[in-house]
Every structure is written in structure tokens, then in C-alpha cells.
Amino acid sequence: MFNIRTYNAISSKGLSRFSADKYTVSSESASPEGVLLRSQKLHTEVLPESVLAAARAGAGTNNIPTEDYTEQGIVVFNTPGANANAVKELIVAGLLLGSRDIFGGMNYVQELGDMHDSGEMGKLLEKEKKRFAGSEITGKTLGVVGLGAIGSIIANLALDLGMNVIGYDPAISVEAAWQLSSQVERMESIEALLARADFITLHVPAIPATKHLINKDTLALMKSSAKILNFAREEIVSTDDMVAALDSGTIAGYISDFPAPALLGRKDVLLMPHIGASTEEAEENCAVMAADQLMDYLENGNIRNSVNYPPTKMARNGGSRITFTNNNVPKVLGSVLAVLADAELNVVDMVNKSRGDIAYNIIDIEGDLDQSIAAAIADVDGVVRVRII
Ligand code: MLT
């Protein structure tokens, strides 16, 4: 049996993936092997030592202390792409809201509550509608910063909407590159992209390297008519520099899913309460993907879509399975194999993958194993965590 601790409201479709004969799922589980969460900030939580993995039903993982978990041998999963369609649709809304004064016009109409003559109202609206005129997005240039699961589908959709699309991603994955239309023009630098775009949409994770990527220097490169869409994370844009750029006319607008007090009450800023992925479909997709990845890790040791461990998968070969994490230094794997040889255990298949400072291994052994072998492997210098599944 495995225990799963949940945080936040996880879609019942995801929770129903855990079969009752193998899992107990509760927000109160005292010694869980797996943690399933959405936006709960785990930086201040002390997780029990039983935890082997944490799965986020969402793309961003800045609410999880990933580096600490890596040192503790806890695998962190996310669900790239599972909510991409929801975010994409809201970005289309953001583009339209940013180019037509839909919001101002709708508010104006609601303010006419004391008019009772529809003829009079019609005349007034025809006279006043010029106040809410805008421009079209067709023919405008969209700059997409970050061409991962979300950035690449937005780039493709913007082409369908008649926009010119330029993209920048120094670390684009092969998978994302395959998904990207050849009509998306690749920019050699973010500076070049910022200088050319009419709209800039940000799709990078919140990591130290992207903190305040949009700041006074990068804002100064943009067209004075440019508008920025931030449906990624608050930290990517310096709020102070954004306010200063809007005040001075350096850029024309900011559309963001991450409100901050200094941004309120401005006509050139449109704010939403982090609802990019808040659709029934996205919540279900994320929960199902997170639950499936967590189960495959707990039951088989396989790793798919982890942000701190290497992707690792091996079909079961019967017999018993050992998995272990070790510091990515020479001799550890050799020493573990020597432990197995001393115990006269026959290796049927194995895989060893590394990522940064850690390595992860799956070894299938003929026959049954008892837990004493886990203790012997754990004693090997450099081994962080061992499981026998
Ligand atoms: C994500 O990280 O997937 C989105 O920002 C939505 C969310 O945080 O739930």
C-alpha cells in the first residue's frame, strides 16, 4: 500500500486514478510516500522522511523547494502541456483585450443604468463608441519568449490569427521544436525579439536566471506601442520597472495574470487573478497526468516529467527491482554492483541516468530480494536513497 498526501483541491478525475487496493489518499496522511499538490507553498512545510516524490498538477514548480528535495532524494514532477490549451485560450483573450478597448466599452455601457429610452441609448452609444476604438492583431508581430509546451502552441495559433510570429528560446527541446511551425521566425537574441515585437508573451519558468527578465533595460528596447503579456509568473517582470515604463510611455501596456498593488487602477494595465489554467479541462488533465506519473514512480521507479531527476524508464522484467539515487561521481555504481555480486544476485537489466549533481538507477534482479540488500546499498558512499520495489 502507498499513502498519498494531497494539498489544495485536486480534480476528482485525478484522484480516481489511485485504486483503493493499492493507495490511501488523504490531505491528512501522516507518513505519505507521495505528495500531490497544486499551488501550496512547500518551502515552509517540513515533509516526513517517508516522502519519495512530490507531483505538481501544473507546470510551474516555484512553490516547491526543488533543490532541497533533490538533496533528500525526493523526485519532483510537473505536468508540462496538460494545461497549455487553457493558457493559450486566455492569451488569445489577452491579445484581444489588449488591442481593442472591450473592457472600457463594456464598463461604459453598464454605467448607463439610469437611461430608460433605448432609442436615446442607441444614439448616445453611436456617438461615444469612438472612445473605445482599437486596432487589429492581424498583421502585428507577436514575440514569444520561451518555446516550450505553452509558448509553441501560442506561436502556432498566432500564425492562424494572421499575426507574424517571432520566437526566442536558447534551450528549446527537440519535442517543442518539432511542434513549432516553420513560419515562426527564430530570433538569435531576446533583445532582437523585444525590439521587433508589437506584443510580447512570456513563457519561461520562474527560476533565478529569469527573475526580472523584463526590467528597465529590456523595457527600453521595446517599441513605445508594444504590450507585454505575462501569463507565466510574477517574478519574471519587475513591477517597479514596468510601472516606470508605462508612466514614461516607454511601452504601451501590460496584460498580466499576476496582479500587484502598484499595477491597480491603471488603464494601460489589464489584470487577472492567475486564472490561466483555471478551466475544468486543464484541472482534470493536470491532475490525471500528475497522478499517473506519481504512481509509475512509486510502483515501478519510472520517471517522466520530473524537474529535478533525469527521465528514466525501464519495462519490468519480472524478479525484483532496486532503484537508487546517488551523487553523480565516479565509482558509486561500480560499488553498488559489487554489493550485488557479493550477495550473488544476478542483474537482468539496468539503466543509469544522470542530471546535474545526481544520478538515478533502476536495476532489475532475478528472484526475490529482502530489505537487507537495501541497507547494504545505502551504506555505499555517495548513495542518497534506495528502494526495493
Ligand atoms: C501552471 O503553473 O501550470 C499555471 O500557472 C497554473 C497554475 O499555477 O496552476
**Percent of the chain whose predicted confidence (pLDDT) is above 70:** 100
86 lines ligand 1 (CB under 6 A): no
d(CA 147, CA 163): 17
Q: How far is the CA of 234 from the centre of ligand 1 (A)?
A: 12
pLDDT value of residue 370: 87
pLDDT of residue 366 exceeding 90: yes
| pLDDT, tens digit, 9 for 90 and up, residues 155-167 | 999 999 999 999 9
Nearest protein Cα to ligand 1, atom 8: 58
In Å, how far are 54, 140, 250, 289, 378 from 72, measured between CA atoms? 12, 48, 46, 24, 13
How would DSSP label each residue in 20-43? Answer: TTTEEEETT-SS-SEEEESS---T
* Mean pLDDT of the region 233-244: 98
Q: Which amino acid is at 238?
A: S
Q: Which amino acid is at 56?
A: R
pLDDT value of residue 95: 98
Q: What is the mean pLDDT of the chain?
A: 97
14 lines ligand 1 (CB under 6 A): no
276 lines ligand 1 (CB under 6 A): yes
Q: How far is the CA of 282 from the centre of ligand 1 (A)?
A: 10
* Mean pLDDT of the region 166-183: 93
Query: Which cell numbers in the block locate residue 281?
Result: 479541462
pLDDT band, very low/low/confident/very high, at 183 (cuts 50, 70, 90): very high
Q: How far is the CA of 8 from the centre of ligand 1 (A)?
A: 13
b or e along 155-194 (b: 16 or more beta carbons within 10 Å of the residue's beta carbon)? Answer: bbbbeeeebbbbbbbeebeeebeebbeeebeebeebeebb
CATH classification code of 1-83+277-309? 3.40.50.720
pLDDT of residue 317 exceeding 90: no
pLDDT of residue 318 exceeding 90: no
Q: Tell how strand 199-202 and strand 227-230 pair up.
A: parallel
* Mean pLDDT of the region 12-40: 97
pLDDT value of residue 166: 98
Q: Which atom of ligand 1 is nearest to the CA of 257?
A: 5
Domain residue spans in the chain? 1-83+277-309, 136-271, 312-389
**Percent of the chain whose predicted confidence (pLDDT) is above 90:** 97
Q: What is the pTM of this model?
A: 0.90
| pLDDT, tens digit, 9 for 90 and up, residues 185-229 | 999 999 999 999 999 999 999 999 999 999 999 999 999 999 999
- Percentage helix, strand, coil for the chain under 3-state DSSP, each rounded to 5: 35, 20, 45
Radius of gyration of the chain (CA): 26
Two domains, one topology: 136-271 and 312-389 = no
In sequence order, which residues have a C-beta less than 8 Å from that of residue 315 and are 6 or more positions away?
Answer: none
58 lines ligand 1 (CB under 6 A): yes
Alpha carbons within 13 angstroms on the beta-carbon side of residue 238 total 12
Nearest protein Cα to ligand 1, atom 6: 277
Which run of H or E residues covers position 285?
A: helix 280-300
What is the DSSP secondary structure assignment for residue 139, as one 8-state letter? T
151 lines ligand 1 (CB under 6 A): no
Residue among 8, 38, 83 to mutate when testing ligand 1 (max atoms within 8 A of CB): 83
294 lines ligand 1 (CB under 6 A): no
Cα dihedral sign for 373, 378, 381, 383? positive
pLDDT of residue 246 exceeding 90: yes
Q: Which atom of ligand 1 is nearest to the CA of 286?
A: 3
Tell me the fold of 312-389: Alpha-Beta Plaits (3.30.70)
60 lines ligand 1 (CB under 6 A): yes
Q: How far is the CA of 83 from the centre of ligand 1 (A)?
A: 8
| pLDDT, tens digit, 9 for 90 and up, residues 103-160 | 999 999 999 999 999 999 999 999 999 999 999 999 999 999 999 999 999 999 999 9
39 lines ligand 1 (CB under 6 A): yes
8 lines ligand 1 (CB under 6 A): no
Q: May I ask the CATH architecture of the domain 136-271?
A: 3-Layer(aba) Sandwich (3.40)
Cα dihedral sign for 381, 382, 384, 387? negative
